[in-house]
Each structure stands twice: as C-alpha cells, then as structure tokens.
Structure 1
Amino acid sequence: MKSSKLLLLSVAVICIALLGVALYLQIVEEMLPCPLCIIQRYFFVAIAIICIIFAFLPAESARTGAGLGLLGALGGIATAGWHLWVQAHPGTSCGIDPLETSLNTIPTANLFPMLFKADGLCATPYPFLGLSIPQWSLIWFAIIAILLARRVFKRG
C-alpha cells in the first residue's frame, strides 16, 4: 500500500509542477490564459488536492482517492479536447463570453487572480516546445488518468 500513497503524492506533485509551468508561461512568456485554460487549471488543482488528502488517509482509501482523481483527469481530458476543437475551428471562440465572466466571479479567481483569472482567447494557439498548451494538457491528463486507472483497477 505504500506504493499507492507514493503514486498519489507523485500525481499531486506532477499537477502542482504543471501549475507552476502554467504560471511561468503566463508571467514570463506573457501567454494569457483563456477560460478553458482556467478550467484545466481547476482540474489540476482538484486532482492534486484529492491525491494529497487520500495519500494521508488510511491505505484502504487509496483506491477511492485514485478513482476521484481519475474522474478529475477525465474531466481535464474532455476540457483539453474541447479546447483543441475550438483551436481547430477558428470561427469558434470562447473569448469574452459568459464562461469567462462567470469564471472570473468565482471566489478563487478573486483570491488568486494570477492563477484563476481568464484573460486570453481560447483560439490563440500558444506554442510551447512544439505543441500547443491544450495539447500538453491533454497529454498530461492522459498520463495522470492512466496512472490513476492502474491503481483503481489493480487487484488488492
């Protein structure tokens, strides 16, 4: 069961590191996050919090924590997939729309505006190491989903 706790903590560290990269890109590279980017950040935060909590609960609850984290990763996959669809169809945008307005009124957007305030346009394809940001998010959500699914469906 130690491996389950290590897995959950490792996933949490990955999510926190990815949020750090997102802040670097936003602050240093001046890549403004769009509403779909912010939703993906919320999924990374949720996965990290779930994994940290369940890593410190009794070992029997690791499967439940991995399952909840897996649901978060699947939500992130869906959001990143939608983001890629928006980028592939330039006429579609989630720019200044009700989604951005509602996201920017959530208390976390006011408490941590650097992390959760949407200012960018979803159709802007910011490249980073050869891929767009939602492509990177999709890859990482898929990796996290696979890691957590292995724990959920592991016997014993």
Structure 2
Amino acid sequence: MAISFLCLTLLGFALFVQYIGWNGELYAPCPLCILQRVAYLGIAMSCLGAYFSNALRRFFHVLASTFSLFGLGVVFRHIWVIFHPTVSCGLDLLEVWINQWAIVRWFDWLLKADGLCSAPLPPIFGLTVPIWSLVWLTVLTTILLLTLVSSLNKKIKESGS
C-alpha cells in the first residue's frame, strides 16, 4: 500500500509541475515522461492489486516489478536523450503513437505528450525530473525485486520442509 501511495504522490507532483509549475516554469511532459507515468501508474495499480488480493499477490508483485523495470529502461533512454540533444523523441512517431492511445483521449490531462524530451528544464531541488525519476524507480525496483526474491525463497523453504 505504501508503494502505491508513493507512486500516486509522484504522479500528483508530476501533474503539479505540469499545470501549476515550479519556480514559474511549466513542465510539459514528453513522450518518455508519459511512458514513465505509465510505469508509475502500473506499479501503483499492481501494488494495490497485491494488497487487496491475497490469491493473486505474487502475480501482482511480478507485474509491479515488470512495470518498475520498464520504467527504469525508459528513464535511462530519457537521460541518454538529454545528454545527446541532437537525438529527439519530441514531435516524432513516439509522440504521435502515444497520443493516439484511446486511454490518452480519456485521460489527456494525465497522459498526453506535448513536450520535448531534450528540453532543458530547470532542476527541482538540484536534480532534473528524469534524474528524480531514476532515483525513485531505482528505489522502487530494488524494494520490489528484493521482496519478490524474499517471498520466493520463503515459498521454496516452505515447500521443501
């Protein structure tokens, strides 16, 4: 439940800086930002599923871990794009593809990509948004994978005795 709350809080902060701004700057989400939001949302929903369904807990745990690994892959790509500004993921096929998803039309306030991945936005508390995402996704992935391995080891020990 705590992981779900953390992910939803991070999504809330993303919406805050998108619509209200930070230090006078609005942070328009790029396609890679949107994919990271999908990862955070997937982690949150999977952890809620695990919390409320004991029978499917392991399935939801694996699903949350998969979303966190997906998010890490996306954020690594995002950071790479920032350090290679000639590469774009802004107004390209990825943005068009993402913005055509049916769920984006329903939740465009949350999932519509309209920023540039390589746009130089000011840091928040000393770190850029993709670096913050890297920090949080690393923490979440570590927690999810360690607890998954621990529960699998416990299951193996129980079945072996």
Q: Answer yes or no: same fold by TM over 0.5.
A: yes
Query: What is aligned with 2:137?
Result: 141
Give, in angstroms, the shift of residue 107 of structure 1. 1.2
In the alignment, the residues of structure 2 paired with residue 11 and residue 125 of structure 1 have an alpha-carbon distance, to the nearest angstrom, of 30
Which SS does the other structure have where 1:84 is aligned?
helix
Is the radius of gyration larger for structure 1 or structure 2?
Answer: 2
Structure 2: stretches of 5+ with no match in the other structure: 155-161
Are 1:35 and 2:31 counterparts? yes
After superposition, residues 25-104 of structure 1 pair within 5 angstroms as 25-29=17-21, 30-58=26-54, 61-104=56-99
Query: What is aligned with 1:150?
Result: 146
More displaced 10-residue stretch of structure 1: 146-155 or 78-87: 146-155
Give, in angstroms, the shift of residue 48 of structure 1. 0.8
Q: 2:117 aligns with which of 107, 122, 139?
A: 122
Q: Which has the higher contact order (CA 8 A, sep 6+)?
A: 1
Which SS does the other structure have where 1:144 is aligned?
helix
Aligned residues: 147
Name the aligned partner's letter for residue 38 of structure 2.
Answer: Y
Give, in angstroms, the shift of residue 140 of structure 1. 0.6
Name the aligned partner's letter for residue 131 of structure 1.
Answer: L
Task: State TM-score, norm by structure 1.
Answer: 0.90
In the alignment, the residues of structure 2 paired with residue 135 and residue 24 of structure 1 have an alpha-carbon distance, to the nearest angstrom, of 18
Structure 1: stretches of 5+ with no match in the other structure: 1-8
Conserved 8 A contact 2:65-2:144: yes
Task: State TM-score, norm by structure 2.
Answer: 0.87
Consecutive aligned runs of 4 or more in structure 1 exceeding 4 Å deviation: none
In the alignment, the residues of structure 2 paired with residue 56 and residue 67 of structure 1 have an alpha-carbon distance, to the nearest angstrom, of 15
Give, in angstroms, the shift of residue 63 of structure 1. 3.1
Query: What is aligned with 1:5?
Result: none
Give, in angstroms, the shift of residue 74 of structure 1. 0.6
Are 1:13 and 2:5 counterparts? yes
Query: What is aligned with 2:106?
Result: 111
In the alignment, the residues of structure 2 paired with residue 65 and residue 101 of structure 1 have an alpha-carbon distance, to the nearest angstrom, of 30
Name the aligned partner's letter for residue 73 of structure 2.
Answer: A
